[in-house]
Structure 1
Amino acid sequence: MSSIQSLFKPFSAGPLSLPNRVVMAPMTRGFSPNGVPGEDVVAYYRRRAENGVGLIVTEGTLINHPAATDNPNIPNFHGEAALNGWAKVVEAVHQAGGKIVPQIWHVGTTRKVGSHPNPEALPIGPSGVTAEGEVVNEPLTEAEIRDLVAAYAQAAADAKRIGFDGIELHGAHGYLIDQFFWEKTNKRTDRYGGDMLSRTRFAVEIIEACRQAVGPDFPIIIRLSQWKSSEYTAKLAKTPEELGQFLAPLVEAGVDIFHCSTRRFWEPEFEGSELNFAGWTKKLTGKPTITVGSVGLDGDFMSLFTEGKGAENANVDDLASRLDEGEFDLVAVGRALLVDPAWADKVRDGRQDELIPFTPGALQTLH
């Protein structure tokens, strides 16, 4: 069997059974006017399921909080209209034989003051400061934290009710949950801040509340990253030992799968080992992991935007070999799948010469 075929072996973890290891990475698209996904969004996700993607993670969807986003075209995960839209997405993906989870999101203090759809709502974060140190609000009170935890749990309950196959919590890239993790944005001295363990408490309470809302047999994925959108070199954990300490409470709270975001999947996470972030997380927790980061592209995905250039398709033999060796369990594909809905089927069938190269212009439409 060629190593490529390891991408197309079935996978199961608890109640989640997938036909292969290919995951559609969550990618913000902003095609949901007033927060409501329409028929074009339904068709967008259905095309990936029809073309052999094993698991779809939706773009970030917003919890019920007025400062959750800075863009009125980002989809909500609350309110009858938005949830009915998502129910249609789920139905279409399931009819095509796919599995799908929503990514549950709040942007925290990355939101600019005065942003729509709710310009009067100030950005929120653990300490009310941005990654750059700008004070934009008072620190969250414990009562406000309880309300946020409840909003995440409500989203989880709604995901289960309308037929999703699990949820993903967005705990990466410097957004709200990650702002609690990161000492640069979490200056609290109460039980939600201080040492690394205390900085996991907000996430732990969200995971526990979601678990209570959905029961024991509904997969909970959390997306984590060391890097932040504002600081690519940031590290929550500087050593494997620190990473193990950081992950342990999340496992205990009820995470089933870790989605480990890196900018380049091939880069080792720590000196002295070739394991990437997903590899270390799997080794330290024993839980399944998803790797992600410029998969299928010949360049770092961030440079595609900062330099406004496209990317040629890269072969995935090295990635598939590492998957075959068990370094990680699943592979999330972002921009390569954004531009080419048939990426998975083409790779499986050896039709790499038919892959559509990514260009920034691809972001202007739902392919």
Structure 2
Amino acid sequence: MPALKEYMKDCVLAEYPEQNYHPAQPVAPGTYISKLSKEQEDTEDKIPLLFQPFTVKDLTLPNRIVVAPMCMDSSEGGYMSDFHLVHLGSYALHGAGLIIAEATAVEDRGRITPGDLGIWKDEHIPAIKRAVDFVHAQNGKIGVQLAHAGRKASHKADHTDHPDEDFWRDNVVAPTGGLQWDHNHHVPRELTVPEIHEIVKLFGQAAVRAAKAGMDTVEIHGAHGYLIHSFLSPVTNHRTDQYGGSLENRARFMLEVIREVRDNFPAEKPIFLRVSATDYVEHLGKPSWEIEQTVQIAQWVKEAGVDVFHVSSGGNTAEQKIKAYPGYQVPFAERVKQAVPELHVVAVGLIVDGKQAEQVLQEEKADLVAAGRAFLRDPSFTLQAARQLNVKAKHIRQYGFVENQ
């Protein structure tokens, strides 16, 4: 065993030969110490913003890197599995500031695929709490994205069959009926007003379960063409009652959901909202959802109880045309942050490395930076970003030999 330990030391030194870091202080995993002189270490603003703590309400993140929610299509009956424990836990082991679990349905007909996670019944809580407890044991922070897929429900996952085709055929719902997302989805039927009110209550009940599971935050999913987004956009909302027509009416369902979640989640804990800033259908020459409307609702959601605004884009129609490039969604986040400075903003969209993420923060385009694919490629994305910014991480105890060499 001593020989193995020495071998491991040699491996670490070979991979990371520069050893002029200042000794790490006794801080939690995910907290970072900069490679600076003693004089510089006394000045907090010398540490990259990406690795400075961030506090919203009673939640303090050790750094400003967020694991964006990513659907894994790996659940049966909505239950978290060993896969989810390892998937989410790996990010905590490697120091991510905040982990947001994938879109988790507030009712069974609200799943994107039959493999989605669920939080529509109390029986889902223990498995969720198991993952939460593991993340907390590593001094990590975790939230869950509360979601309803709306007209994009029932999409067939690659590895699973629909449990009941008749169920999906009759229960795919939307603000306006008959508008099929594409041929891989069922044609939705239009929600009645009482049904809308019931779904609002389901979001509140899901928030209660998230709190019982110990979640540090919840994120309401209002993006990517799912139910809330489809109410917001005139592309998919053709209603003529109190939930359609004007922007105020189209935003009514979202605001009711936010207030219901706020009333049912601990007041000291923050609420995130994820939105799509645009539908990317300007080429159609018809009314659509665009950044100007996103900026307007940002003020409304702040007043309704949202603390953090997570800005994504697209997903509402198969006719969208997206030109993706590193940081392509960051300008949308910047617009919101400039217009509603009291609202914390998350930027996301092909964030590929630490230097890019730090630049977003330094230029005050967002308060937090989220990544998805980058974490799938490398669960230690946070540690890689630290090295790119000349910063040393405090590793978990089990990996501590790395920092002591």
- Give the alignment's TM-score, normalised by structure 2: 0.74
**Native 8 Å contact 1:103 1:167 kept in 2:** yes
Q: 1:180 aligns with which of 206, 228, 231?
A: 231
| Conserved? CA contact 1:7–1:22, under 8 Å | yes
Root-mean-square deviation (CA), in Å? 2.7
List aligned pairs for 1:212-291, cutoff 5 A.
212-228=263-279, 236-239=289-292, 242-262=293-313, 264=325, 266-267=327-328, 276-286=331-341, 287-291=343-347
The runs of 5 or more residues in structure 2 that have no matched partner are 1-33, 36-45, 314-323, 391-405
SS at match of 2:360: helix
Q: Does structure 2 conserve the Cα–Cα contact (< 8 Å) formed by 1:127 and 1:138? A: yes
Q: How does 1:17-96 map to 2 (within 5 A)?
A: 17-64=60-107, 66-96=108-138
Q: Is residue 113–residue 136 contact of structure 1 (8 Å, CA) maintained in 2?
A: no
Q: Deviations over 1:314-363 (max 9, x none)?
A: x44243122123220111111110121111012202399xxxxxxxxxxx
The alpha-carbon deviation at position 291 of structure 1 amounts to 0.5
In 2, the alpha carbon distance for the partners of 1:208 and 1:62 equals: 18
Query: Which position in structure 1 is the counterpart of 2:383?
Result: 345
For 1:128, which of 160, 163, 177 is the aligned residue? 177
How far apart, in 1, do the equivalents of 2:359 and 2:91 lie? 24
CA distance in 2, matches of 1:320, 1:79: 40
Aligned equivalent of 1:320: 358
Q: Following TM superposition, by how much is the alpha carbon of 1:244 offset from its aligned partner in structure 2, in angstroms?
A: 3.2
- Structure 1: how far apart are the matches of 2:155 and 2:129? 32
CA contact (8 A) 2:221 2:274 kept: yes
Q: Equivalents in 2 of 1:222, 1:207: separation in Å?
A: 8
Q: Is the counterpart of residue 152 in structure 1 residue 203 in structure 2?
A: yes
**Matching residue's letter, 2:203:** Y
The letter for the 2-side match of 1:116 is H
Runs of 4+ in structure 1 displaced over 6 angstroms? 1-4
Give the 3 Å change call, closer, same or farther, for CA 10–123 of structure 1 in structure 2.
same
Contact 1:200-1:249 at 8 Å conserved across structures? no
8 Å CA contact retained: 2:113, 2:154: no
* SS of residue matched to 2:221: strand
Identity %: 32
Instruction: Tell whether the 8 Å contact from 2:278 to 2:291 is kept in structure 1 after alignment.
Output: no
Contact 2:142/2:217 (<8 A) preserved: yes
Give, in angstroms, the shift of residue 50 of structure 1: 1.2
Q: CA-to-partner distance for each residue in 1:3-53, whole Å, 9 max, x for gaps? A: 993211110111111000000011000112222112221122111011010
- 1:144-188 C-alpha deviation (Å, 9 max, x unpaired): 001100101101111112100010011001111100001011111
Q: Which amino acid in structure 1 is aligned with residue 309 of structure 2? A: F
For residue 221 of structure 2, the aligned residue among 145, 160, 170 is: 170
Between the aligned partners of 1:336 and 1:224, the Cα distance in structure 2 is 20
1:151 to 1:232, Cα distance in 2 relative to 1, 3 A:
farther
The answer (yes or no) to whether the contact 1:257–1:288 under 8 Å persists in 2 is yes
Equivalent in 351, 360, 365 of residue 295 of structure 1 = 351
User: Greater Rg, structure 1 or structure 2?
Assistant: 2
Contact 1:6/1:324 (8 A) holds in 2: yes
Unaligned runs of 5+ in 1: 270-274, 297-314, 353-367
Alpha-carbon distance in 2 for matches of 1:276, 1:30: 30
State whether residues 278 and 290 of structure 1, in contact with CA within 8 Å, keep that contact through their aligned partners in structure 2: yes
Give TM-score scaled by structure 1 length. Answer: 0.81
Q: Are the counterparts in 2 of residues 168 and 223 from structure 1 also a CA contact under 8 Å? A: yes
Change (3 A) 1:190 1:196: same
Q: How far apart, in 1, do the equivalents of 2:304 and 2:204 lie?
A: 13
Give the number of equivalent residue pairs.
324
Which one is further off, 130-139 or 158-167? 130-139
